[in-house]
Amino acid sequence: MKRALGVTVLALIVLGSSCGKSGTGPVAGTLQVQLTSPNSGADSAIVFTVTSPAALTSVTAGAGLRVFAQPLGGTTTRVALTGRLTTSTTILTIGVANVNAASQYSGTIQGVAQPNYVLRLAPFTGYALTFMK
């Protein structure tokens, strides 16, 4: 009887300690930022702001691009990229505290330049940034 009571108490302790833990907590990692552009391949620079639920941990330019970013640390980070910008390629990889929160990341485009670095005029219709795992 004492043994059965001990096993029951142990089972309750194990079950109680695991309640409320779904196993789907924050997972640090990276997100890829892709550009949609009506001028794919005909832009050579872009400036945008990333808005995030937590500070970015890193920014890395996509292949063939060069990145300039303000110091990381807030929930908004301004980024400039130079190089040939094409649609459906990763233009930037960002380090994040939780890849499961990808839908909470967004980007606002402030400027786009042509290959001769002449700025395109706002609004930037047809341009979009997508954040994905």
Give a yes or no: residue 65 inside a domain.
yes
Higher pLDDT, 6 or 69: 69
Domain holding 49, by residue range, is 27-132
Give a yes or no: residue 22 inside a domain.
no
Number of structural domains (the chain) is 1
Give a yes or no: residue 6 inside a domain.
no
- Strand ranges, E, within the chain: 29-36, 43-51, 58-61, 66-69, 76-85, 90-96, 106-113, 128-132
Higher pLDDT, 122 or 15: 122
The pTM score is 0.80
**pLDDT one-digit tens code per residue, 28-42:** 999 999 999 999 999
Q: What pLDDT does residue 92 have?
A: 98
Task: Provide, rounded to the nearest whole percent, the portion of the chain with pLDDT above 90.
Answer: 80
Q: What pLDDT does residue 8 have?
A: 42
Q: What pLDDT does residue 3 have?
A: 52
For 67, 114, 119, the CA distances from 72, given in Å and listed in that order, are 13, 28, 26
